[in-house]
Every structure is written in structure tokens, then in C-alpha cells.
Amino acid sequence: MLLTKEADAGLIVAPRDLRTVGAHPDHWYPICWSRELKPGQMQARRFAGDPVVVVRSKEGVLFALEDRCAHRQVPLSHGVVKGCTVRCGYHGWAYDESGACVDVPYLGRERLPNGVKSYPVHEVDGLIFIFPGNPELADARRPSALGARGDRTYKTRELNREVGAHYTFMHENLFDMNHQFLHRRQMGLMKATCLGRDSGPNWAEVRYTFSRTEGAATIGEGAILGLMRGKDEADRKDRMVIRTDYPHQNLRFWIDEGDPVLSVWLGYTPLDAEQKTNRTFGYLSVKKPGLPLLLDIAWPFITMFTESIFKEDKEIVEMEQAAHDAQGSDWNNEVFPPIRELRAVLERCGAPG
């Protein structure tokens, strides 16, 4: 591993291993699908090793608490929802949406102990987010829309899987379209040409165009690219823009000067304390053609195609994580400038070491 010199202190130190940089808690992270949380229910989730219970009261009040009773530390998610409170399933201690303990049945309300941690929550476009960090920063950083999920001119499917890899591998995998060789069985051979890149303090963007050097488009790929709308491959002007706005990512793909034919939004929520696993939440949206029924007919093929692509991506980033664990550090020899810039953003924006 190369060493770098700290100019201000005159010390020789090793650069930080990106795969040990935690997701910064002062951001919103998806934790649960809205459809999973009916009124009067709760769901047990995790963020970076911390247990979280997400609750929706019968009145529709949404809140999230540390999933440990302050009494015996058992999960509150094993209890019951009563009004806008959660009662622990062991002794019935009750906590309100702020995490305050509001009732201990056998002591009365005059001798209440401390409560549990609460998390700011936000629900948008069918996803529930929590803000694990400083709650004073939460309002200013709320996501307002998730890609094209809320746009009725697109047909959207959920992307949802647990991946055994650090979230930084996920950002790099999507950002680097030079890995199209990985998907040769699904797409033939595609050549990605970088059109340019930009970056800022908390974001990085890369732009590509594509050409097919071998093979042909599948039905699923063809439907996504709009071939069913009469676009000849030779006439298309493919352009893809991939952007990380820490900590989320999005991808948009055009074949002409109109709206993107494909829009993808992704959020990566670390699960374990070492953050070697993540839950990937996302939306893949395809622009509806002039005859929307054509897209409905092609949708099973689009689903099979995209699931095959994501399966290959999942397997390869898990191999990267396994190599990191076996070698004990990040030995990646990255040469592609956009990825080097992305890595700098991820290190800069991640949790302090």
C-alpha cells in the first residue's frame, strides 16, 4: 500500500481504506418499503448494526425507535402497537413516537425511567427513510423524489436485495460502465465510451455513449431502449448519465433528445456494524411508449433481463468484498479517472475515521 505525507504535521501515514469508511449517519437512508408497513404494524430493521423498529400507528402516525426496550434490552418489535405507542412484549413498558417511556404498568406514570433513541422518519415515493445522525440536519436533507418513481409517464419496478458487500462497491459498480464484459451473456459485447465527467464536494457524475460490437439486443433490453417505438439501432444517439449525490445514486439513459427512456434510483443501507453487507433499495423506471400496452407485454422480459444483470452485479461485488477480506485491505489498482474521482467523494463524505 502506498504511503502519503501529511504536509501539516510532517507525518507519514497510510491512506484510508475506502472499504472501512462507514456510511455517514447525517443523511437519509431507506429502511422499509411503505407497502410493508400497514396501520397498526411495525417492522424490525437494521442500520449499521443498530436495531431499528419502524412503526405506523392505526392513526397513520409514522415513527422509528431503537429496537431495544430500556428495561431488559429485548426487541420492542416483539411487542404490540397501541395507539401512537409501542408496548414491549415482556413487561408492557410503553414508548411514544419520541422514544420517551410513557408507562410502566406496575409502577404508574409517576416513576418513569428514561426512554430509547428515536429517529427522524420520512416517507416518499413508496419508501420509508430514517435519519440516523444529527436530527437538526434532517429537514434540510430530505429527499423530495426518487428518480422517476412518481412520474406517471414511466412504468416502474422495485429493486430490492441484500448484498454481501460494502456500499462503496455498489457505487463503483454502477458508475463504471467499462464492466459491460461481465454482462456479455445478457447483452452481447458492448463498448462504453466515456463522454466526460464532473465532481464536487459531495457528488460525482460520469457520462457515456455505447456501441454494440457483437451480439444483438434481447427483448427486454430492446424494450428498455425504446426499440419498440421504432428506433433503429443505427439512428439512436445513446447517452447515459450516472451520478452519485452522496449517499444515493441515479442513472438516466437517452436514445434521443427527449425524456430518458430509462431512469434508475438507488439507495444503499448498511446492515451490519462492519458495513460488509447492505440492503439495496431502488426503482427502475422505463418510459411508456405511444402504445403503453407494448410495454406491459414486454414487462416480464424486462424483469428477467434486469434481474439477470443485477444478479451478475451482486455476485461480482460480493467477490470483490471476499477478496478485500482475504487480503485484509483494499488492493484495488484503479486506473479509470471517473472512478478515482468517485472514490475521493465517497471517502470525503463518509463517516470520519
Global confidence as pTM = 0.91
The predicted structure's pLDDT at residue 14 = 53
pLDDT digits (tens, 9 = 90+) for 210-234: 888 887 766 667 666 654 444 455 5
Can you spell out the DSSP letters for 235-289? G---EEEEEEETTEEEEEEESSSSS-SEEEEEEEEE-STT---EEEEEEEEEE--
Spatial CA neighbour of 283 closest among 151, 159, 162:
159
Containing structural domain, residue 121: 29-141
- The CATH number covering residue 34 comes to 2.102.10.10
The predicted structure's pLDDT at residue 189 = 83
Do 234 and 322 fall into the same domain?
yes
- Residue 270 belongs to a domain: yes
pLDDT at 175 over 80: yes
- The CATH number covering residue 195 comes to 3.90.380.10
Judge contact between 191 and 222, C-beta under 8 A.
Answer: no
Select from 88, 107, 141 the last residue of a domain. 141
For residue 25, the number of C-alpha atoms closer than 13 Å in the C-beta half-sphere is 15
Read off the pLDDT band of 5 (50, 70, 90).
very low
- Torsion (CA) 32, 36, 39, 43 in degrees, nearest 10: -60
Select from 85, 110, 141 the last residue of a domain. 141
Average pLDDT over residues 183-208: 92
Do 99 and 227 fall into the same domain?
no
Q: How many domains does the chain have?
A: 2
Spatial CA neighbour of 70 closest among 106, 103, 25, 31:
103
Read off the pLDDT band of 13 (50, 70, 90).
very low
Judge contact between 83 and 74, C-beta under 8 A.
Answer: no
Do 227 and 324 fall into the same domain?
yes
The predicted structure's pLDDT at residue 219 = 66
Across-strand partners of 157? Answer: 284
- Residue 147 belongs to a domain: no
- Range with the poorest average pLDDT among 155-169, 215-229, 317-331: 215-229
Spatial CA neighbour of 66 closest among 40, 39, 45, 36:
45
Judge contact between 118 and 98, C-beta under 8 A.
Answer: yes
